[in-house]
Chains A and B, each alone.
Chain A
Amino acid sequence: MEMRSGESADLVLRGVTVLDPAAGLDGRHDVVVRAGRVTELPAPGAADAAGLEEIDAEGLHAFPAFFDPHVHLRTPGQEHKEDVETGARSAAAGGYCGVLAMANTEPPVSEPADVETLLADARAAAAVRVGFLATVTRAMAGEELTEMASLLEAGAAGFSDDGLPIRSARVLRRALQYQRLCGGTIALHEEDPELSGDGVMHEGPVSAALGLAGIPSISESTTIARDAAIAGYEGGRIHVQHLSAVESVEAVRAAKAAGVQITCEVSPHHLCLTDEAVRGLDPHRFKMNPPLRSEADRQALIEGLLDGTVDCIATDHAPHATEEKEVPFEEAAMGVTGLETAFAALHTHLVLPGTIGLGLLVEKLGSGAEPFGVERSSLAPGSEANIALCDLAARWTVGEEGYESRSSNSWCDGEELTGRVLMTLAGGQVAYRLRSFSLGVAA
């Protein structure tokens, strides 16, 4: 993973509420950051601020900055939607210190030189650490394996054909056998194209009412079950992307119980919305794959978060140009953006109503690093400064001030959310400050 190098942060967050469940921190402190590292957490008001920028953080929260193992930065080939610079800026605005970019670009990232070029881009332009996955199969054609060992040597953060499933069980098996030689987590977009057909939304009463072709839940769960069995047989390590259905949670739970090395993620939109949202036929906000499913599915995903079946939250940030969304639902591109709103949306929809605790949310927004062997961020003294400074009471309307992302297909567009990231430190540097906050207006 790489990011732009710049000035190390030297600052103190005065009287901030520090919450880092993984480090066992929950209380009010001054957070002292010197030369880009958290050096101490003295009592509120006790820090010696000599030579430091002082930030009045009374009433604000400091969390270990988040990590998103599933974003689409669209480069190379679709820079009109996003690139490394805008995507990383969008991540920083959401409180993230690191993201992993998927390889389904044009062309897909299948060669070691592609990875090297992208890492150089990140070194030049990224406000947060960006890692790049390479494809499992050459050009995502699902037939021949990429040079996985060379790709890892070139700096690939793992492997995925995300956007498409690996149709052939034989090809996945070979990839997992090769993984024993070279390592590297394989992240899987689980879907049976035969069952999904030309589906554009969840199959159920809403698709029946709208006359839209449905994507049945079993399209996802049967493939997860198949791939978990293959991973178990080969002793391979897999990460299941964007779980959406109750059957899928059950399949992962069963695989974990059977000792398979399997982790999984769930997206904020699947935790907050159901297919009822599709009734208005707005593809900007509500068309994505996997689709928004039923309330029972949403509840199962929440249950999975609570019982640990779901390892982490990943946005599947998928920017699209306006013209690809300003068309009838069936014709529109799949995908929504999510980096800038993940924390605020989940805080609004799940934490404030008491469905999950704030600590669990912070924990799951940071734990996406671990399946890919990346160290998670921490606020414990001695750690590199990776901090999301948030105002839990701030109310804001998504998109009102535009987006850091180059695209505006946010699933929260126009929604009023409660809780906002004011400032992000990533890799020991200040990656983002909300304009009004840095001008002293917001806090």
Chain B
Amino acid sequence: MRHLLSIEQLSKAEIEAILDRAESFAEVGRRDIKKVPTLRGRTVVTLFYESSTRTSSSFELAAKRLSADLVSVKAAGSSVDKGESLKDTVATLSAYEPAAIVIRHPHAGAAQLVAGWADAAVVNAGDGKHEHPSQALLDVYTLRRRLGSLEGKRIWIVGDVLHSRVARSNLIAFQAMGAELTVCGPPALIPRGLRELGCEVTHSLDDLGEADVVYALRLQRERMRESFVPSLREYAVHFQIDSRRLGPRQLLMHPGPVNRGVELSGEAIDSPQSLIAEQVASGLVVRMAILYELLAAGDEEPTPAAGNGATAPTPIGQPA
């Protein structure tokens, strides 16, 4: 794997390899010293053109846990504010010879463009409404830990699919892992032609009971101004996942940040079925695994500790 630009580029086996690697980093995370020397002396650049809390912080921490040097660039306050083009910004940052560039951009295809310009491995941390592959990988990781396998599981994605890169990447990833997908939301927020991606489409939560997993999406508050929905109240009446709609054996997920009381009720968020906090924890190890797969998997040396499958890299401070 040279870059991680989309979930679409990954086979089921490649997804599983990343998840297996993430399992090994989860083990590292339980040690006192949570850092491994894998990327020592190498540079990771995070380039965020949109605000982000969990994606940027978990990629940054992932790079640090792997001992990489980290340069974090946020568009606000940088030369992007002064009108520098993406191409020129990437050329500038490439002068530091980074091993990886992690990019979040408001437009589809930005990561792919950067991959064409830079020598570094490029990670798409969200491009417009197109894809968010690391989110999909951490969601599959979270579910796999809880359910063992996604094969034959019914997953409902509920909410504003039109504006959601998470929905698109997860549709592909969940289906690749064998799950059956249903997408539910108001008609104006479901893109025309979505069925051709292989999912069911419905505009009612009536059959939500069949779902093993309910994946709710954030509803931006400004969507009413554009008449996608008449009001948040009416949206909540039809599409909010609350304790009445969420059954005891169903799992609840959300990519965050949540609009408490809009797409999810407070009780649903805080319910034992909710995996929302686990998703965040998974984000760190999955992003470590992504950086590892891109930058270190090729030059991996077998260690004495190596067992079957993925190896846990030797922690700093322990004999190699």
Please report A residues at the B interface, Cβ cutoff 8 Å.
203-212, 214, 216, 281, 323, 326-331
- Residues in B with CB closer than 8 Å to A323 are 85
Q: Is A208 a contact of B86 with CB atoms below 8 Å?
A: no
Q: Is B193 a contact of A205 with CB atoms below 8 Å?
A: yes
Q: Is A327 a contact of B193 with CB atoms below 8 Å?
A: no
- The number of residue pairs between A and B whose CB atoms lie closer than 8 Å in the complex comes to 68
Give 12 new A-B contacts, CB below 8 A, not counting A208-B197, A211-B191: A209-B197, A212-B128, A326-B113, A327-B107, A327-B113, A328-B105, A328-B108, A328-B109, A328-B110, A328-B113, A329-B109, A330-B128
- Residues in B with CB closer than 8 Å to A328 are 86, 105, 107-110, 113, 127-128
- Residues in A with CB closer than 8 Å to B168 are 209, 211
How many residues belonging to B are interface residues under a CB distance threshold of 8 Å?
Answer: 24
- Say if the beta carbon of B131 comes within 8 Å of chain A: yes
Within 8 A of A (CB), among B154-204: 164-165, 168, 191-194, 196-197
- Residues in A with CB closer than 8 Å to B165 are 211
21 A-B pairs with CB atoms under 8 Å apart are: A203-B193, A204-B192, A204-B193, A207-B191, A207-B192, A208-B192, A208-B194, A208-B197, A209-B168, A211-B168, A212-B128, A212-B129, A212-B130, A214-B192, A281-B112, A326-B85, A327-B85, A327-B113, A328-B108, A328-B128, A329-B108
Closest 9 CB pairs of A and B: A211-B129, A205-B193, A328-B107, A281-B109, A208-B191, A205-B196, A211-B130, A208-B193, A330-B107
Q: Is B193 a contact of A210 with CB atoms below 8 Å?
A: no
Q: Is A208 a contact of B128 with CB atoms below 8 Å?
A: no
Complex Cα gap A136–B129 (Å): 37
- Residues in A with CB closer than 8 Å to B131 are 211
Q: Is B192 a contact of A210 with CB atoms below 8 Å?
A: no
Within 8 A of A (CB), among B100-151: 105, 107-110, 112-113, 127-131
Knowing A209-B168, A326-B87, A327-B86 are in contact, say whether A281-B108 is a contact too (CB < 8 A): yes
Q: Is B108 a contact of A210 with CB atoms below 8 Å?
A: yes
| Chain B proximity of A193: nearest CB distance (Å) | 14
| Chain A proximity of B132: nearest CB distance (Å) | 10
Select the residue from B105, B129, B193, B194 with max chain A CB neighbours within 10 A. Answer: B193
- Residues in B with CB closer than 8 Å to A327 are 85-87, 107, 113
- Residues in A with CB closer than 8 Å to B105 are 328
Complex Cα gap A210–B109 (Å): 9
Q: Which of A204, A208, A330 contacts B108 (CB 8 A)?
A: A330
Q: Is B107 a contact of A207 with CB atoms below 8 Å?
A: no
| Chain B proximity of A420: nearest CB distance (Å) | 30
Q: Is B193 a contact of A206 with CB atoms below 8 Å?
A: yes
Complex Cα gap A206–B127 (Å): 16
Q: Is A205 a contact of B109 with CB atoms below 8 Å?
A: no
| Chain A proximity of B148: nearest CB distance (Å) | 29
- Residues in A with CB closer than 8 Å to B112 are 281
What residue of chain B has the Cβ atom nearest to residue A214's Cβ?
A: B192
Complex Cα gap A277–B276 (Å): 38
Select the residue from B164, B168, B191 with max chain A CB neighbours within 10 A. Answer: B191
| Chain A proximity of B72: nearest CB distance (Å) | 21
- Residues in A with CB closer than 8 Å to B110 are 328
Knowing A281-B109, A328-B110 are in contact, say whether A211-B86 is a contact too (CB < 8 A): no
Q: Is B197 a contact of A331 with CB atoms below 8 Å?
A: no
- Residues in B with CB closer than 8 Å to A216 are 192
What residue of chain B has the Cβ atom nearest to residue A294's Cβ?
A: B193
Select the residue from B109, B193, B197 with max chain A CB neighbours within 10 A. Answer: B109
What residue of chain B has the Cβ atom nearest to residue A279's Cβ?
A: B8
| Chain A proximity of B260: nearest CB distance (Å) | 26
Q: Which of A214, A326, A329 contacts B191 (CB 8 A)?
A: A214
- Residues in A with CB closer than 8 Å to B129 are 211-212
- Residues in B with CB closer than 8 Å to A205 are 193-194, 196-197
Complex Cα gap A249–B176 (Å): 40
Select the residue from B112, B130, B164, B168 with max chain A CB neighbours within 10 A. Answer: B130
- Residues in B with CB closer than 8 Å to A212 are 108, 128-130
- Residues in B with CB closer than 8 Å to A209 are 168, 193, 196-197
Select the residue from A203, A204, A206, A210 with max chain B CB neighbours within 10 A. Answer: A210
| Chain A proximity of B305: nearest CB distance (Å) | 42
What residue of chain A has the Cβ atom nearest to residue B168's Cβ?
A: A211
| Chain A proximity of B265: nearest CB distance (Å) | 28
What residue of chain A has the Cβ atom nearest to residue B197's Cβ?
A: A209
Complex Cα gap A68–B295 (Å): 53
- Residues in A with CB closer than 8 Å to B86 are 327-328
| Chain A proximity of B200: nearest CB distance (Å) | 14
Complex Cα gap A281–B115 (Å): 13
- Residues in B with CB closer than 8 Å to A329 are 107-109
| Chain A proximity of B222: nearest CB distance (Å) | 14
- Residues in B with CB closer than 8 Å to A203 are 192-193
Complex Cα gap A214–B197 (Å): 16
What residue of chain A has the Cβ atom nearest to residue B127's Cβ?
A: A328
Select the residue from B128, B164, B168 with max chain A CB neighbours within 10 A. Answer: B128
Select the residue from A204, A323, A327 with max chain B CB neighbours within 10 A. Answer: A327
Q: Is A210 a contact of B197 with CB atoms below 8 Å?
A: no
- Residues in A with CB closer than 8 Å to B107 are 327-331
What residue of chain A has the Cβ atom nearest to residue B87's Cβ?
A: A326
Complex Cα gap A209–B175 (Å): 14
Q: Interface readout for B264-298 with A: 1 if CB under 8 Å, 0 if not?
A: 00000000000000000000000000000000000
Select the residue from A211, A329, A331 with max chain B CB neighbours within 10 A. Answer: A211
| Chain A proximity of B162: nearest CB distance (Å) | 8
Complex Cα gap A206–B128 (Å): 15
What residue of chain B has the Cβ atom nearest to residue A330's Cβ?
A: B107
- Residues in B with CB closer than 8 Å to A330 are 107-108, 128
Complex Cα gap A330–B109 (Å): 9
- Residues in A with CB closer than 8 Å to B191 are 207-208, 211, 214
Complex Cα gap A308–B304 (Å): 76
Complex Cα gap A273–B23 (Å): 45
Select the residue from A203, A204, A208, A214 with max chain B CB neighbours within 10 A. Answer: A208
Complex Cα gap A209–B167 (Å): 10
Complex Cα gap A115–B130 (Å): 45
